[in-house]
Structure 1
Amino acid sequence: MELNIKNKRNKSNKPSGHEQVLEFLEKLEHPLKPEIEEVRKIILNSNNRISEHIKWNAPSFCVNNKDRITFNFHGKEGFRLVFHCGSKKTEYANKGPLLKDDTGLLDWVTGERATLTFTSARDVEDKKSKLIEVVSKWIEVTKDI
């Protein structure tokens, strides 16, 4: 599987977002680390506009330098992806979900924030095609927010 990587080392010689994520994952101790790495690959390959960096002490995926999907490693039952519109509340927070989720994968927290939980390698495999669909829809619906 070939990764879509948009980040390159910048002029100040600071690690690129991609390099930040690789360094983070190298040090990550998590019982589902291979599954986390697989979900990362799925997301990066789902849309050629996606870049990555570290936000909230976890890998985060951006479009046009705006965070849209971020890993969350807290909790005992696996790990989550948080689908969001950045750290500030938007006008969509108190409205219905930003998109119609035909996959049934998303658990809505607010109209602009949802989570998706993974608990095992089998769970990642079972959700793979629907994850690609949800990521694509989320990127499209939030691109101008």
Structure 2
Amino acid sequence: MNTKTRHISAADTTEAVDALLISLTHPMKTEIQLIRVAILDADPSIKEGVKWNAPSFRTHEYFATTNLREKAGIGVILHLGAKVRNLEPGGVKVEDPTGMLKWLAPDRASIKFTSTQDFKAKEPAFIALIRSWIKHV
């Protein structure tokens, strides 16, 4: 895995995410913060920044973006960054024993949370998915 961080702009910082969240008016702001903490705590190699006008997360490439426009909840889009990658047939292979992932493409999936209680119930499985997903980035 390439451990060089190629992200050095002002948007690729925790400070940028903090500023975005301060200015954000969203009914699920608490859940956004819970998601943020869970993703950052999942692995020490994970950093954050603002990408696509939303809190986003990376190792050496961005791999997760909060979906602030999710209807009736808050979403997280898992992806492999902006570059097209050659994948094995069937796409990204991650264990999802709880069926939390909704596949959007072979290299992209979404997860939705409807409340703090929903997030807390799914948090251990969510963290396991993040740890599994970053192995493919």
TM-score bracket, shorter-length normalisation: 0.7 to 0.9
Structure-2 separation of matches of 1:97 and 1:124? 23
1:43 equivalenced with 2:31 (yes/no)? no
TM-score between the two structures when normalised by the length of structure 1 = 0.82
Between 1:33-42 and 1:91-100, the stretch displaced more is 91-100
Instruction: Choose which of 98, 112, 120 in structure 2 pairs with 1:117.
Output: 112
The number of equivalent residue pairs is 131
Moved more, 83-92 or 73-82: 83-92
Shift of 1:110: 1.3
Instruction: Tell me if 1:55 matches 2:51.
Output: yes
Query: Cα–Cα, structure 1 residues 15 and 76, in superposed 2: closer, same or farther, change >3 Å?
Result: closer
* Whole-angstrom CA distance in 2 between matches of 1:91 and 1:15: 28
In structure 2, the partner of 1:98 is 93
1:80 Cα shift? 0.6
Q: Following TM superposition, by how much is the alpha carbon of 1:15 offset from its aligned partner in structure 2, in angstroms? A: 6.7
Range with greater deviation from structure 2 (103-112 or 92-101): 92-101
- Equivalent position SS for 1:127: helix
Matched, 1:88 2:83: yes
Q: Does 1:22 align with 2:18?
A: yes
Q: Does 1:138 align with 2:128?
A: no
1:74, 1:129 → 2: CA distance? Answer: 24
Match of 2:4 in 1: none
Letter paired with 1:60:
S
Indicate if the aligned counterparts of 2:11 and 2:50 stay in contact, CA closer than 8 A.
no
> Shift of residue 93 of structure 1?
8.6
Please tell me whether the aligned partners of residues 50 and 56 of structure 2 are also in contact (alpha carbons under 8 angstroms): yes
Q: Distance in 1 between matches of 2:54 and 2:106?
A: 23
TM-score (norm 2): 0.86
Q: Is the contact made by 1:99 and 1:137 (CA closer than 8 Å) also made in structure 2?
A: yes
Ranges in structure 1 where 5+ consecutive residues have no aligned partner = 1-9
Identity rate, percent = 35
User: Which ranges of 4 or more aligned residues in structure 1 deviate by more than 6 Å?
Assistant: none
